[in-house]
């Protein structure tokens, strides 16, 4: 089981990094956000400094990569469904969940690399974060990414069509993004948005990320976000593993 | 016997806005494949060939029936069956971005082969792929891709290989080349289950075959046996009154069959039947516009068993 999962993780990683330009592009986007978007937020922070804006925006940028980077990884599964390689693996002695778990694990590794890049840029721009908080932020990000990756693989195996997949992702993404307060914290939002924001799981991840960057380890948003995303990640991963039986169709 | 199948059945149910539709893809198939032989499943598109192979490959669960594949019960020990199989699907399963070598190596590692590197190099050499081994899958030609697909399926030296329509979409040269490779498998003792809708492919490659139509076996045997069963020769006539001509010729033939304005006459000895046949037609005054004498083919077997020509079934499938 573990051997096969490791085998598939390695295989998928080699695939991703055989052309490192694509993961690099993935990293570039949040870095650009940090460099070009955070300064715009400067005037919304109490002290009107870029560092304060970064403290608010860096955790959001990290959650953004976690969700939106992983959410698209299911497309690879659709390609492999079409070229028949998934079917071939299903007939091999491979432990079947490893086929999906390997991909999810690959997403996690890519995610951590990207997160470290973002953190380096943020620290270079003046953000400071404690070691415990740093580890917790990375863990939270991993759980968020796990949820998104599992969701994406499950969706890919259910929809089985690139067109339908991109449409359904678009449908989800915009409200999730806006209602999470990624760009502008929900505290600036009107009352009705504040009321519905907690329904959005990403909102809790962003809030917890901000609390961690602010050094507020006791903030209640942190355990809420962890509990929520661990449960969600387990659920979507199980769903994606189960969806694998649909390969036969 | 490397494969023994008894009364295998599969019905698919699709739900759509128009309501529930059921398709009986496989309606009770029996088959026996001997160790070391190339066994063909011949039939038109939609006959149930792929469904049968996918069931035997543990991808789909049959609704009914029993099967033993490579010494293991299909339903009770699917994992053991998978270990013994090489499976090459219709799509092939060659990934676009990864090299042939990496894909073959991955398959070797999944099968826990002692020396995956060597097994990969061996199978690459065997299929003339060494030169293109490090190119990504998407840059390969159709014929190369097929060879990579088969190499992936054979890297662990399985006792049994499934090939689902291996030459569909290939040009004649590549098809002939692939036939040679598949025929070579006999020497290594690998048993092959191959599905095809090409008559010439079944005729050229298979030791034995079964003809399937609408999810049922309509005939089974060696290509020669099957053709003999229909009768040695077929005389195809184009006449203005096929019914009257058929009636005239029935005493001379083993069987006659009318297909629009074509009349097919099956006879054991075509050369000697021909003069008598022409005389009979002249005596009755039937106008003949063309005549052809051929050895019967597997298409004639299909026609005799199903009432349709395999060549015609492409249109409605």
Burial string for B274-293 (b: 16+ CB within 10 Å, else e) reads beebeeebeeeebeeeebee
Which member of B82, B97, B137 has the closest CB to residue A93?
B82
pLDDT number for residue B255: 83
pLDDT reading at B241 higher than 70: yes
Residues of chain B with CATH 3.40.50.300: 3-227
Q: Average of pLDDT values for B119-132?
A: 95
Chain A to chain B, count of Cβ pairs less than 8 Å apart? 73
Best mutation target among A4, A21, A88 (most B Cβ atoms within 10 Å) is: A88
User: In the numeric block, which tokens belong to residue A47?
Assistant: 């002290």
> Between residues B229 and B219, which one has the greater pLDDT?
B219
> Between residues B200 and A248, which one has the greater pLDDT?
B200
Are A91 and B90 inside 8 Å of each other by CB?
Answer: no
Q: What is the mean pLDDT of chain B?
A: 90
Interchain CB contact of B79 with A (< 8 Å): yes
The label of the residue with tokens 């497309």 reads A75
The CA R_g of chain B, rounded to the nearest whole Å, is: 23
Residues of chain B with CATH 3.30.70.980: 232-295
Beta carbons of B182 and B38 less than 8 angstroms apart: yes
Comparing CA positions, the residue from A209, A243, A60, A202 lying closest to residue A135 is A209
Confidence of residue B317 (pLDDT cuts 50, 70, 90): very low
Distance, CA of B254 to CA of B274 (rounded, Å): 13
Supply the ipTM of this predicted assembly.
Answer: 0.86
| Strands lying side by side in the sheet with B64-69 | B19-33, B3-16, B64-69, B72-73
Interchain CB contact of B90 with A (< 8 Å): yes
Are B95 and A18 inside 8 Å of each other by CB?
Answer: no
Are B94 and A89 inside 8 Å of each other by CB?
Answer: no
Q: Average of pLDDT values for B126-144?
A: 94
pLDDT reading at B315 higher than 80: no
Measured between beta carbons, the chain A residues lying within 8 angstroms of B82 are 91-93
Confidence of residue B238 (pLDDT cuts 50, 70, 90): very high
Class of domain B232-295: alpha beta
CATH homologous superfamily for the domain B3-227: P-loop containing nucleotide triphosphate hydrolases (3.40.50.300)
> Between residues B270 and B48, which one has the greater pLDDT?
B48
Confidence of residue B252 (pLDDT cuts 50, 70, 90): confident
Interaxial angle between packed helices A2-18 and A21-32, expressed in degrees from 0 to 180 and rounded to the nearest 10: 80
Would you write out chain A's pLDDT as a tens digit for each of its 249 residues? 889 999 999 999 988 887 777 777 777 877 888 888 888 878 777 777 888 888 888 898 889 888 888 888 899 999 999 999 999 999 999 998 999 999 999 999 988 888 888 889 899 988 888 999 999 999 999 999 999 999 999 999 988 889 999 998 888 888 888 888 887 788 888 999 889 999 999 999 999 999 999 999 999 999 999 999 999 999 999 999 888 877 754
Among B94-98, B163-167, B241-245, the minimum mean pLDDT is found in B241-245
pLDDT reading at B316 higher than 70: no
Confidence of residue B164 (pLDDT cuts 50, 70, 90): very high
For the full predicted model, state whether its pTM sits above 0.90: no
Report long-range pairs for B177-181 (Cβ below 8 Å, ≥24 apart): B177/B143, B178/B143, B178/B146, B178/B147, B178/B150, B179/B204, B179/B205, B181/B127, B181/B147, B181/B150
> Between residues A88 and B269, which one has the greater pLDDT?
A88
Which member of B79, B87, B96 has the closest CB to residue A79?
B96
Q: Average of pLDDT values for B70-86?
A: 95
Measured between beta carbons, the chain B residues lying within 8 angstroms of A92 are 82, 87, 107, 110-111
Instruction: Kindly report the nearest CA distance between residue A92 and chain B, in angstroms.
Output: 5
> Between residues B231 and B257, which one has the greater pLDDT?
B257
């Amino acid at each position: 089981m573990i051997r096969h999962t490791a085998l598939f993780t390695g295989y998928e990683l080699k695939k991703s990094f055989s052309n490192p330009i694509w993961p690099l592009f993935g990293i570039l986007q949040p870095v650009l956000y940090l460099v070009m978007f955070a300064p715009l937020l400067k005037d919304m922070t109490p002290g009107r400094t870029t560092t304060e804006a970064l403290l608010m925006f860096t955790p959001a940028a990290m959650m953004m990569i976690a969700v939106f980077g992983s959410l698209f990884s299911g497309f690879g599964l659709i390609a492999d469904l079409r070229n028949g390689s998934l079917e071939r693996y299903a007939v091999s002695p491979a432990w079947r969940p490893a086929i999906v778990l390997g991909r999810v694990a690959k997403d996690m590794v890519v995610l951590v690399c990207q997160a470290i890049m973002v953190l380096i840029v943020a620290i270079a721009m003046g953000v400071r974060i404690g070691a415990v908080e740093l580890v917790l932020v990375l863990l939270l990000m991993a759980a968020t990414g796990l949820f998104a990756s599992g969701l994406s693989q499950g969706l890919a195996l259910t929809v089985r069509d690139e067109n339908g997949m991109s449409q359904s992702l678009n449908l989800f993404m915009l409200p999730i993004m806006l209602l999470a307060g990624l760009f502008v914290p929900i505290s600036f939002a009107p009352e009705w948005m504040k009321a519905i924001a907690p329904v959005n799981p990403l909102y809790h991840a962003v809030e917890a990320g901000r609390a961690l960057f602010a050094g507020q380890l006791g903030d209640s948003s942190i355990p809420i976000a962890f509990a929520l995303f661990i449960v969600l990640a387990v659920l979507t991963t199980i769903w994606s593993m189960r969806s694998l039986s649909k390969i036969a169709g | 016997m490397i494969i023994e199948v008894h009364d295998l059945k599969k019905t698919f149910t699709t739900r759509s806005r128009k309501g529930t539709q059921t398709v009986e893809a496989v309606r009770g198939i029996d088959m026996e494949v001997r160790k070391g032989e190339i066994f063909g499943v011949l039939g038109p598109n939609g006959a149930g060939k792929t469904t049968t192979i996918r069931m035997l490959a543990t991808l789909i669960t049959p609704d009914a029936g029993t099967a033993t594949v490579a010494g293991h019960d299909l339903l009770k020990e699917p994992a053991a069956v998978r270990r013994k199989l090489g499976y090459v699907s219709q799509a092939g399963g060659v990934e676009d971005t990864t090299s042939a070598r990496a894909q073959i190596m991955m398959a070797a590692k999944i099968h826990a082969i002692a020396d995956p590197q060597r097994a990969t190099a061996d199978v690459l050499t065997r299929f003339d792929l060494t030169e293109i081994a490090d190119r990504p899958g998407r840059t390969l030609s159709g014929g190369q891709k097929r060879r990579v697909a088969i190499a992936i399926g054979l890297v662990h030296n399985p006792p049994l290989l499934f090939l689902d329509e291996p030459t569909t979409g290939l040009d004649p040269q590549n098809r002939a080349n692939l036939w040679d490779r598949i025929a070579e498998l006999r020497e290594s003792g690998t048993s092959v289950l191959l599905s095809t809708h090409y008559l010439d492919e079944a005729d050229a490659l298979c030791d034995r075959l079964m003809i399937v139509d609408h999810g049922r076996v309509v005939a089974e045997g060696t290509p020669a046996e099957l053709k003999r069963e229909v009768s040695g020769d077929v005389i195809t006539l184009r006449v203005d009154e096929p019914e009257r001509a058929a009636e005239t010729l029935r005493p001379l033939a083993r069987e006659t069959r009318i297909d629009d304005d074509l009349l097919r006459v099956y006879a054991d000895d075509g050369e000697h039947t021909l003069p008598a046949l022409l005389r009979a037609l002249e005596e009755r005054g039937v106008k003949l516009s063309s005549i052809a004498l051929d050895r019967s083919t597997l298409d004639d077997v299909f026609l005799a068993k199903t009432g349709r020509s395999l060549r015609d079934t492409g249109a409605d499938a």
